[in-house]
Amino acid sequence: MTMRKVMVSRLVPQPHGRSYTSCALEPQGEALFHEFGMGCKESESGVGGHSTAIIEWPNGRVESVALDRIRFLTPSTLDVNDGKIVKPKVLEK
């Protein structure tokens, strides 16, 4: 299995006057994308699910992060047609 490199970002509070009212995504580092996963959060109204990305840091630590915190750095090497894998693409240099 070929894993793709991703850039993982983190939310950093941005100062706005005397308070922090917004956040911005700042790059945290490169990691390897393993697969998509599911996370859940419990609240007063029940349990809600959300999609995540399972990534591996260079030091071997595995983490599940929100999908909006990753950006793929390498293209997919598969050609998909109507949900079926047709053939591997040849990447041009």
Give per-residue pLDDT as tens, 23-61.
888 999 999 999 999 988 888 888 888 899 999 999 999
Q: Taking 90 as the threshold, does the pLDDT of residue 65 lie above it?
A: yes
64 belongs to a structural domain: yes
Supply the range of the domain harboring residue 28.
Answer: 4-88
pLDDT-derived band at 84, boundaries 50, 70, 90: low
Separation between Cα atoms, residue 42 and residue 29, nearest integer Å: 29
Question: What pTM value is reported for the model?
Answer: 0.70
Q: Taking 80 as the threshold, does the pLDDT of residue 9 lie above it?
A: yes
93 belongs to a structural domain: no
> Which pLDDT score is estimated for 22?
83
- Dihedral sign of CA atoms 56, 59, 63, 66 in order: negative
Domain count along the chain = 1
Q: Express as a percent the part of the chain with pLDDT over 70.
A: 80
32 belongs to a structural domain: yes
11 belongs to a structural domain: yes
